[in-house]
Chains A and B, each alone.
Chain A
C-alpha cells in the first residue's frame, strides 16, 4: 500500500510499543529484542496481531536495533540479514494487504565524530545495509525513529534514499529545558523538521519524548515550519515505580484526548511508543472515529 496515497484519504493509526510488550512477556533483560524474530517469531507475531485487532493501520517491524553497529554489541551481528528479513516477514504475515508494514530503523547507539569516535561512513554503511534488506523484504515505508542526533538521522535517511524509493518517515526525541524543547544535541523541533525534510524525509515528527502533552507541544513547533510534520508516537507518559513494577501512568483515555489537538496541527500518523498497549491503540482508534 502507498503511504502517501493512503494519507490523502485521512489520518492513519499506527501501533503501540514492541519493546515494553516483549518485556512484559518474558524478554530477558539485556537480550537483543530483535533476536526474537528468529527465536520466538510467534510471540512477535502475536504482538503485531494484537495491534491490528486494536485498529492499527500500520505496524512496525521488530527491527529497531537491527543494524550491524548495535547488534555487534550483542554479539549477533552475523545474523543481521535473517533478523531483518524475518522481521518484515512476521509483520507482513499479520498485515496481509490491509495494513502497512513500517520498517523500524533505530539509532546505532554510537556517537559520530568529532564528538564521538564513529566515522560517518560507518554509520551510513550500517543504515544502507538495513535499508537494502528491508527494500528486498518489501516494507511499505521506512520509519527512522527515536533519533537524538540529527546528524545520525540525516545519514539514515540518506542511506535509505539510496536503497529505496519508498517513503521515509523520521521521528526524533526532544526534552524540555530552559530554552524549550531541544534534542540532547541541542536541536530544536523546528530546525530538526527542516533538516530532516531537507535530507529526504517524506514526513517528520516525534516519538518517545514523553506523553501526549509533550507530543502536542513538539508537533506544534514542527508544524510551524512544515506541512510534512505529520507524525506523533508518544509514550504512555513518564514511567514510575509502583512496588516492584515499572508503570506507565498515561491511560488510554488520557492519551486519546490528544488526538483532536494533534489532528488540528496537521498530524496524520498517530501511534504509541514505550508503555503503550493495544488498549491505547483502541482508544486512539475511537478518538479517530473508527468503530
Chain B
C-alpha cells in the first residue's frame, strides 16, 4: 500500500504509534509534507468526521484518531513551517465563563486542527471579553464557544454583543455548540452558526472561511 494511504488509514483507525512511525518514514522517503498533511491527515480526519456525523463512530474513536493525527502532525510540523504552508484560517475556541467542561471543546479543537486550521484554545471558564480580545489579537476569522451547562450557555450572547459593539462591521463569525445548545438558541442569540457535533463545527468553520 502506498505510504500516504497507509498513514491516512492509521489516522482513521486511531493507531497513534503507527501514525507517528509512518509520518517519519514518509518524510525520510522524501514525500512532500504538504501532500502528507492534505491527503493523509486532513483527508483521514475528514473521513472520521463523516463517520462521526453518521453515528458510525462516537467520541472515543474520534479522540483516538485526533490523537493519531496530532502524533503525525508533530513530525510534519517543522517541515511544514520550513516550506511556508499556511493554515486554513484561525479559530478561537473556548468553554464559556462559569463552565469547566472541556471535553466537547477539546474535541472541536482537535478536529479543527485536523482540518488544517490554526486553533487558539482559550481553555475553559473563558469570559466573553477574552473571546473577543483573542480573536482580534490573533486575527481570527471565527470564534467557537462551547457550554455544557444550561446555567452558563447564556453568556454566549454576551460575547456576540461585545463583538458587535466593538466592531459593528466585523467579519469575525461566531459558532456555538454543547449539549444544551440548540439551533433555535443560536438564532435567538444571533450566533452565525450552530454545531450539533464537532464534525459539523468543522464544516461551519470551512464555510465561514470560504474554503469549503
Interface positions of A (Cβ within 8 A of B): 19-20, 23, 27, 29-31, 70, 73-74, 109, 111, 114-116, 173, 175, 177-179, 182-186, 235, 238-241, 244, 246, 248, 274-275
Contact = CB atoms under 8 A, between A and B. Distances in A.
Interface of B: 54-55, 57-61, 63-64, 97-104, 106, 124-125, 149-155, 157, 179-180, 182, 184-185, 188-189
A115 B64 contact: yes
A30 B97 contact: yes
26 contacts: A19-B149, A23-B151, A29-B98, A29-B155, A30-B97, A30-B99, A74-B100, A109-B101, A109-B103, A115-B59, A115-B63, A115-B64, A116-B63, A177-B55, A178-B55, A182-B55, A184-B104, A186-B60, A238-B180, A238-B182, A239-B150, A240-B182, A240-B184, A240-B188, A246-B153, A248-B150
B60 A246 contact: no
Contacts of B152: 29-30
A66 to B, nearest CB: 14
A30 B147 CA distance: 12
A239 B185 contact: yes
Nearest to A29: B98
A288 B123 CA distance: 45
Contacts of A275: 150
B5 to A, nearest CB: 25
How would you classify the secondary structure of chain A's contact residues: helix, strand, loop or mixed? Answer: loop
B60 A19 contact: no
Contacts of A116: 63, 103
B154 A186 contact: no
Nearest to B155: A29
Given A115-B59, A173-B179, 6 more contacts: A70-B100, A111-B106, A115-B60, A182-B55, A184-B59, A239-B185
B150 A241 contact: no
Contacts of B97: 29-30
Contact of A185 (B54, B60, B104, B154): B60
Interface centre among A177, A244, A274 (most CB of B within 10 A): A177
Contacts, number: 81
Nearest to B54: A178
Given A70-B100, A111-B103, A116-B63, A30 B54 contact: no
Contact of A182 (B58, B61, B64, B104): B58
Given A29-B97, A111-B103, A239-B153, A185 B179 contact: no
Contacts of B157: 241
A241 B160 CA distance: 14
Contacts of B182: 238, 240
Contacts of B60: 115, 185-186
A290 B100 CA distance: 39
Contacts of A175: 179
Contact of B58 (A30, A73, A185): A185
Given A111-B103, A114-B64, A182-B55, A241 B189 contact: yes
A268 B58 CA distance: 31
Contacts of A27: 151
Contacts of A183: 58
A275 B57 CA distance: 31
A23 to B, nearest CB: 5
Contacts of B58: 182-186
B150 A20 contact: yes
A101 B60 CA distance: 35
Interface centre among B98, B151, B185 (most CB of A within 10 A): B151
A244 B154 CA distance: 8
Contacts of A238: 180, 182
Interface centre among B153, B157, B179 (most CB of A within 10 A): B179
Contacts of A244: 154
Contacts of A114: 64
B154 A246 contact: yes
A23 B150 CA distance: 10
Contacts of A177: 55
Nearest to B153: A246
Given A115-B59, A185-B58, A185-B59, A30 B64 contact: no
A115 B60 CA distance: 6
Nearest to A27: B151
Contacts of A29: 97-98, 151-152, 155
A239 B179 CA distance: 11
A30 B98 contact: yes
Nearest to A115: B63
